[in-house]
Amino acid sequence: MFILSIICSWFIDRNKEYTEDSPFYRFLLYTCTKIVVLAARIRIHVRGLENVPEKGRYLLVGNHKSNFDPILAWEVLGKEADLCFLSKPENFKKPAFGKIAHRCCFLAIDRDNPRKALKTIDKAATFMKEDKFSIGVYPEGTRNRSDDLLLPFHTGLFKIAKKAEAPILVCITKNNEKIVKHFPFKGTDVYYDFCGVIPAEEVVKTSNIDLGEKVREMMTDALLDKSEEGYEKLKDIKKRRASGQ
């Protein structure tokens, strides 16, 4: 599958702007993800899945500890979420994965160039308004390698939800930074918590700074919750959802 992905990535034009999703490249992306999760023996436990909006697009906002963060997000939420992430331009230069992400309409955001960054924010908001994708962002801007719970936020990213008049789904992950350390000798239990939702009506009337403070508070409370009560394995949750329970 990985060889197929490398071969198929040759047919993607890095310089072309894609505005429509590709079911084929999404299939490659999600299939390779499942293989990685299985190979690395990542055991995902989820809490708060009931907070995920069942209809409409949303801005997914999370903490950033590992390169596995977006991979875990679309593994947990599934193909129904149609997630597109904003990421630094360097990630799109990575062989195969960078080109496939580009073809799946992931967006590069240049935080050193405010004008270009605003164009990316506008495009992401348009994707949401046109009901094409939900958008994933990490307001810390880079992986948090410090002992601090969270790095300072780039609150301008909340403009995406405001412009799209969409809710913000807040999540945190725990233990994901240990995946690389444990591989290949040990599996990793990762905890994924959907902390809550800020409704679209509140998003529109709240400033970016105040949204950042509210999101930070929600994340901090979830990160400081040391108990594992309420977490369940992902497959059990998906099974109950599929059965309508």
CA distance 63 to 193: 11
Which run of H or of E encompasses 100? helix 97-103
Across 215-229, average pLDDT = 87
The pLDDT tens digits of the residues spanning 129-188 come to 999 999 999 999 999 998 889 999 999 999 999 999 999 999 999 999 999 999 989 999
Q: Is residue 138 part of a domain?
A: yes
Q: Is residue 58 part of a domain?
A: yes
Q: Is residue 16 part of a domain?
A: no
Q: Which residues of 89-98 are buried (b: 16+ CB within 10 A; e: fewer)?
A: eebbeeebbb
Q: Is residue 196 part of a domain?
A: yes
- Angle between the N-to-C axes of helices 69-77 and 23-39, in degrees from 0 to 180, rounded to the nearest 10: 110
Q: Is residue 218 part of a domain?
A: yes
Q: Is residue 14 part of a domain?
A: no
Pairing mode, strands 232-233 and 168-174 = unpaired
Spatial CB neighbours of 45, under 8 Å, sequence gap ≥ 6: 189, 190, 191, 192, 228, 231, 232, 233, 234
CA distance 180 to 27: 24
Domain count, the chain: 1
Which domain does 27 fall in, by range? 2-9+21-242
Spatial CB neighbours of 63, under 8 Å, sequence gap ≥ 6: 69, 138, 140, 144, 149, 150, 172, 173, 219, 223
Domain harbouring 115, CATH code: 3.40.1130.10
Q: Is the pLDDT of residue 218 over 90?
A: yes
Q: Is the pLDDT of residue 81 over 90?
A: no
Of the two residues 232 and 93, the one the predictor is more confident about is 93
Question: How many other β-carbons are positioned within 10 Å of the β-carbon of residue 144?
Answer: 17
CA distance 136 to 63: 11
Q: Is residue 55 part of a domain?
A: yes
Q: Is residue 91 part of a domain?
A: yes
Question: How many other β-carbons are positioned within 10 Å of the β-carbon of residue 123?
Answer: 18
CA distance 25 to 196: 31
Report the mean per-residue pLDDT for the chain: 91
pLDDT band at residue 243 under the 50/70/90 scheme? low
Tell me the two tokens of residue 17: 């702007």
